[in-house]
Structure 1
Amino acid sequence: MQRSSHILVVEDDSEIGLLIKRHLVSSDFRVTLARDSGAMDRVLASDRIDLVLLDIMLPGEDGISICRRLRATSAIPIIIVSAKNEDVDRVIGLEIGADDYLPKPFNPRELTARVKALFRRVDLDGIVSPFATGILRFENWEMDCKARRLVNAEKAMISVTPAEFNLLQALAERSGRVLNRDQLVELTQGQFGASNGRNIDILVSRLRGKFEAAGAPYQFIRTVRSGGYEFVPAVTREQSDD
């Protein structure tokens, strides 16, 4: 029997938490609730979690701090669910590593749809990824598209989020071509919102920072004024072993 994906909901409002749990369980997900960061940490230490639904307004350590902390050590998918519906909060959430942001109040069906879409993108629910498999090589770096791993020239693993990996793969598979923001939204399954170029810019900035920190010899992603982005290195592909 296929294992149900396990979602950790970090939400201090018990009514909202139970509402979220009920809708996700009805879609065959396994759900665990945590009211604060301490409870979340205990669950993460004792069980395998596939996705975190994270509220921003929490007692003690807030969701922004939690998201930043999780992202520093893990590529686990994170969806922020928050009553703070300002654009700046959404941008901050994405900048620190969240994969999606859903403002409250929300339709539970939309939340479930967002969760399923994110699982499809990271290939956790048994659905074939929309991206090609194989290994992409550039400047002695390696992207294993099946295992979803990025390794630098020193063979060190680089931690990237699902959203970052999908964007990088979309660019690397079209090395030398300029892709505008709308094209990148479409190529990455629209996960950044309806033609939201700002979210693409945030992810590019995060990737550039990781490239630089990991010793990239130059900036792999070039900005083309009034055009979009281009992946500069020459890329070769080989099939990975099954």
Structure 2
Amino acid sequence: MAANPHIMVVDDEAPAREMVGDYLKMHGFTVTLCDGGASLRRELKAASPDLIVLDLNMPEEDGLSIVRDLKRQNGAPVIMLTATASPIDRVVGLEIGADDYVAKPCELRELVARIRSVLRRSVQAEAAPGQKNRRVRFGTKWLDLDAHHLRDDEDTIHPLTASEFSLLKAFAENPQRVLTRERLLDLASARDDEPFDRAIDVRITRIRRKIEPDPGQPRIIQTVRGAGYLFSPEGRER
């Protein structure tokens, strides 16, 4: 992680945008402020941030569509800001690739804690010296532990969010073991002060779409009813 991680803050409301930006600067972050999706895209052409804080409720462009676009073209983690308490917004955002969310008006100390948590997850599995091409087979893909992404058999890269990578790494290190949701939160360093209780399930669903031959009948990451999840490298039922 950089000494002064670069955070892009996207919010169409100038007072809120500047308040968040000033607070992050006070805590050692380098900050770029954007007033919407168009401004964000211009800034992304000039620099690659370590993380993006994105307001979902902007008049010119829906925040969820921006998240979708970012995850197709940019690997930076995204924390959503949402003025509604709707679980639907949170679930949809997580499903399309966001790494976390904070409700608006947000407690700035919580936002900083969540930013640091996501940044830790994004760099937690750096390769040890001398180790190259560490790969683990996950269904239709290979997990590249050094590059933090999935590759298929044609060597095409399939990007992962920081939280998806952390979960896959946890499974890779614990094959054929039943892992509870609580244990996965710990292993993936995904625990927050007020965790969203469906976050693990949503992320597992998202991962299955990427790795399972038939996501509707998962065999690689299996649900163990009443217990948690199990990674079966061979796809054999437990």
Q: Deviations over 1:59-100 (max 9, x none)?
A: 211111111111122321000012112222211211111101
Number of residue equivalences: 226
* Counterpart position of 1:91: 91
How large is the Cα RMSD of the aligned pairs? 2.5
* Counterpart position of 1:182: 182
Asked if 1:63 is matched to 2:63, the reply is: yes
Asked if 1:137 is matched to 2:158, the reply is: no
Structure 1: how far apart are the matches of 2:108 and 2:165?
A: 27
Structure 2: how far apart are the matches of 1:137 and 1:96?
A: 24
The amino acid across from 2:200 in the alignment is I
Q: 1:131 to 1:42 in 2, by over 3 A?
A: closer
Q: 1:17 to 1:213 in 2, by over 3 A?
A: farther
Alpha-carbon distance, 1:194 to partner = 4.7
Structure 1: how far apart are the matches of 2:213 and 2:38?
A: 30
Structure 2 runs not aligned, ≥5 long:
none
* Counterpart position of 2:199: 199
Structure 2: how far apart are the matches of 1:11 and 1:44?
A: 15
Instruction: Kindly indicate whether the alpha-carbon contact (under 8 Å) linking 1:53 and 1:80 is maintained by their aligned counterparts in 2.
Output: yes
Q: 1:192 to 1:25 in 2, by over 3 A?
A: closer
Instruction: Indicate the larger mover: 204-213 or 184-193.
Output: 184-193
What SS does structure 1 have at the residue aligned with 2:198? helix
Q: 1:98 to 1:141 in 2, by over 3 A?
A: closer
Instruction: Kindly indicate whether the alpha-carbon contact (under 8 Å) linking 1:176 and 1:232 is maintained by their aligned counterparts in 2.
Output: yes
The amino acid across from 1:74 in the alignment is N
Structure 2: how far apart are the matches of 1:78 and 1:183?
A: 24
Alpha-carbon distance, 1:171 to partner = 1.1
Asked if 1:102 is matched to 2:98, the reply is: no
Structure 2: how far apart are the matches of 1:89 and 1:189?
A: 23
Instruction: Kindly indicate whether the alpha-carbon contact (under 8 Å) linking 2:4 and 2:30 is maintained by their aligned counterparts in 1.
Output: yes
Which residues in structure 2 correspond to 1:1-242 (within 5 Å)?
A: 4-123=4-123, 129=124, 135-138=134-137, 141-191=141-191, 194=194, 196-212=196-212, 219-233=219-233
Instruction: Indicate the larger mover: 69-78 or 145-154.
Output: 145-154
Alpha-carbon distance, 1:170 to partner = 0.7
What SS does structure 2 have at the residue aligned with 1:168? helix
Instruction: Kindly indicate whether the alpha-carbon contact (under 8 Å) linking 2:222 and 2:230 is maintained by their aligned counterparts in 1.
Output: yes
Structure 2: how far apart are the matches of 1:12 and 1:200?
A: 30
Structure 1: how far apart are the matches of 2:101 and 2:183?
A: 21
Structure 1: how far apart are the matches of 2:85 and 2:99?
A: 16
Q: Deviations over 1:21-66 (max 9, x none)?
A: 1111111211111111111111111222221100011121111111
* Counterpart position of 1:240: none
Q: Deviations over 1:162-181 (max 9, x none)?
A: 11000111112101111111
Structure 1: how far apart are the matches of 2:3 and 2:192?
A: 28
Q: 1:194 to 1:109 in 2, by over 3 A?
A: closer
Alpha-carbon distance, 1:191 to partner = 3.8
Q: TM-score when scaled to structure 1?
A: 0.84
Instruction: Kindly indicate whether the alpha-carbon contact (under 8 Å) linking 2:12 and 2:36 is maintained by their aligned counterparts in 1.
Output: yes
Instruction: Kindly indicate whether the alpha-carbon contact (under 8 Å) linking 2:81 and 2:104 is maintained by their aligned counterparts in 1.
Output: yes
Q: 1:66 to 1:141 in 2, by over 3 A?
A: closer
Q: 1:170 to 1:111 in 2, by over 3 A?
A: same
Structure 1: how far apart are the matches of 2:127 and 2:227?
A: 25
What SS does structure 1 have at the residue aligned with 2:84? coil
What SS does structure 2 have at the residue aligned with 1:143? strand
Structure 2: how far apart are the matches of 1:191 and 1:156?
A: 31
Instruction: Kindly indicate whether the alpha-carbon contact (under 8 Å) linking 1:37 and 1:61 is maintained by their aligned counterparts in 2.
Output: yes
Structure 1 runs not aligned, ≥5 long:
124-128, 235-242
